[in-house]
């Protein structure tokens, strides 16, 4: 039997893949990126505290996207990409 | 889901009804109910229902693949659509792909939202879309299949697989299908789509990411003010996503309630203003911790209560259903919008 594939779709043109270079986990700036859900801030700042025992944290910053239900603004994401080499995300509830 | 998106046609073994039901279940293509096989011939007939519609679609999140008219038609076939339903399915899809609808957020959330689709205009009668008694319920092929087709597209092309990408804590029955028509014939108000800038002779699908309908029972009130007072109390709940006052909601008036409101000179604008002002959740109904969370998100109480709607314009008023002293409140996901899209009739 021949059927039309109901999952068929075409990948958009021009979607290039990003290439990340080597990361220095001891020194590179890190963003702690919150999805604004309850406890995301507490979790991420807890990670920051733990990191402080093994690396510098004066360049580890907390950022919240603003709304738990809506995407982060593109300008915020661009700024994150520009400033940081590593992102730790809080994604769940 | 079998990730076979690179192949537009699939050659599969001949199988009987039970074999086909098992096959689509194994592929992850179904909402749980049996599907109609999308054969080349049936899909071609479905596509003919939208002939002349060459407007491309954007990629559908989260798989971010651009659908073809053929793959969309395959899902409409599987859902049980007649070809004449297909333009309404495409309009609904275009609506949920508008950025303000926030499709990704509405698919990924733990909330129980589903894409509600309300149809206005002559297409309701042409397709026999139920606008009256039991309009949110079972028994009408167009209501069932149009909403189901939209869901299957979001599952199969979009990749919104339950319990994988769709993380809804409970889900809801509306995730099978949630499509109805406005009961324009029994409404004392201008049809919803006309109030929103469309011509009366155009057919329009309005989508919103919504909870299923919440009943607003009022058998006692004999005035418009009485009804609206009851409705405001029903809407003022601290447990719907509307408590964050971040998005729209629908009030779907039953025709009897609508007639009482119109008799007492309540216009749609006056209804919106009244509900915006009176539907408030008292602070005493909300824990201190939850109040703190609302305020962190920028939603502050006024005096001793939280408003439910961001603005009066976020309260969408329509008329549907049949006889009975009931209306319906349809809260949204919150971070979404009500989007209206004109249905493109097939080219002659």
Q: What is the residue-wise DSSP string for B98-119?
A: SGGG-HHHHHH-SS--EEEEEE
- Domain residue spans in chain A? 30-90
With contacts defined as CB-CB under 8 Å, which chain A residues touch B14? 1
Check whether the bond before A31 is cis (ω within 30° of 0).
Answer: no
Alpha helices in chain B (DSSP H): 17-27, 40-48, 69-79, 86-96, 103-108, 123-126, 141-156, 192-195, 224-235, 255-263, 268-278, 288-296
CB pairs under 8 A between A and B: 114
List phi, psi (to 5°) of B124. Answer: -55, -45
Q: How far is CA B289 from CA A39, A57, A60, B187, B240, in A?
A: 12, 30, 28, 43, 17
| pLDDT score at B296 | 80
pLDDT digits (tens, 9 = 90+) for B227-280: 999 999 999 999 988 888 789 999 999 999 999 999 999 999 999 999 999 999
Nearest to B335 by CA among B182, B149, B110: B110
| pLDDT score at A22 | 87
Residue in B closest to A65 by C-alpha? B297
Nearest to B46 by CA among B21, B61, B14, B68: B68
b vs e for A64-91, b when ≥16 Cβ sit within 10 Å of the residue's Cβ? Answer: bbebbbbbbeeeeeeebeeebbeebebe
Least confident of B33-37, B121-125, B344-348: B344-348
- Which chain A residues in 41-60 lie under 8 Å from chain B, judged by CB atoms? none
pLDDT at A42 over 50: yes
Terminal C-alpha separation, chain A: 44
| pLDDT score at B80 | 98
Nearest to B93 by CA among B330, B345, B331, B341: B341
pLDDT at B2 over 50: no
Nearest to B150 by CA among B210, B196, B195: B210
Best mutation target among B42, B59, B155, B332 (most A Cβ atoms within 10 Å) is: B59
Q: Tell me the whole-structure pTM to 2 decimals.
A: 0.93
- Provide the 10 A C-beta neighbour count for residue B97: 20
Best mutation target among B297, B299, B331, B336 (most A Cβ atoms within 10 Å) is: B297
């Amino acid at each position: 039997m021949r059927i039309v594939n109901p999952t068929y779709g075409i990948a958009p043109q021009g979607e290039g893949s990003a290439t990340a270079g080597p990361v220095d986990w001891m020194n590179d700036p890190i963003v702690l990126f919150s999805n604004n859900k309850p406890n995301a801030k507490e979790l991420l700042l807890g990670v920051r505290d733990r990191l402080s025992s093994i690396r510098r944290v004066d360049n580890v910053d907390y950022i919240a996207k603003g709304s738990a239900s809506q995407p982060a603004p593109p300008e915020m994401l661009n700024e994150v990409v520009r400033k940081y080499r590593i992102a730790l995300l809080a994604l769940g509830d | 889901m079998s990730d076979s998106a690179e192949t537009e046609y699939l050659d599969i073994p001949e199988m009987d009804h039970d074999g086909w039901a098992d096959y689509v279940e194994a592929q992850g293509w179904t909402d749980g109910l049996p599907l109609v096989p999308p054969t080349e011939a049936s899909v071609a007939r479905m596509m003919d229902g939208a002939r002349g519609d060459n407007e491309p679609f954007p990629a559908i999140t989260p798989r971010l693949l651009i659908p073809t008219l053929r793959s969309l038609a395959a899902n409409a076939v599987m859902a049980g659509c007649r070809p004449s339903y297909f333009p309404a399915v495409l309009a609904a899809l275009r609506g949920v792909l508008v950025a303000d609808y926030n499709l990704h957020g509405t698919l990924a959330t733990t909330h129980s939202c589903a894409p509600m689709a309300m149809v206005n205009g002559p297409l309701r009668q042409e397709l026999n879309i139920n606008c009256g008694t039991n309009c949110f319920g079972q028994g009408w092929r167009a209501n069932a299949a149009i909403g189901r087709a939209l869901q299957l597209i979001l599952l199969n092309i979009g990749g919104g697989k339950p319990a994988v990408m769709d993380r809804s804590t409970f889900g809801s029955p509306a995730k099978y299908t949630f499509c109805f028509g406005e009961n324009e014939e029994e409404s004392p108000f201008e049809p919803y789509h006309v109030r929103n800038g469309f011509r009366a002779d155009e057919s329009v699908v309005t989508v919103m990411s919504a909870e299923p309908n919440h009943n607003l029972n009022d058998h006692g009130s004999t005035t418009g003010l009485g009804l609206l007072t009851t409705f405001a109390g029903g809407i003022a709940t601290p447990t719907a996503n509307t408590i964050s006052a971040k998005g729209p909601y629908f009030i779907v008036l039953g025709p009897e309630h609508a007639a009482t409101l119109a008799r007492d000179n309540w216009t749609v604008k006056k209804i919106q203003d009244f509900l915006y002002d009176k539907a408030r959740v008292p602070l005493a109904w909300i824990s201190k911790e939850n109040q703190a969370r609302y305020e962190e998100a920028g939603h502050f109480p006024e005096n001793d209560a939280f408003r439910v709607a961001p603005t009066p314009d976020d309260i969408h008023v329509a008329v549907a259903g049949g006889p009975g002293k009931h209306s319906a409140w349809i809260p949204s996901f919150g971070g979404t919008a009500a989007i209206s899209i004109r249905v493109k009739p097939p080219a002659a």
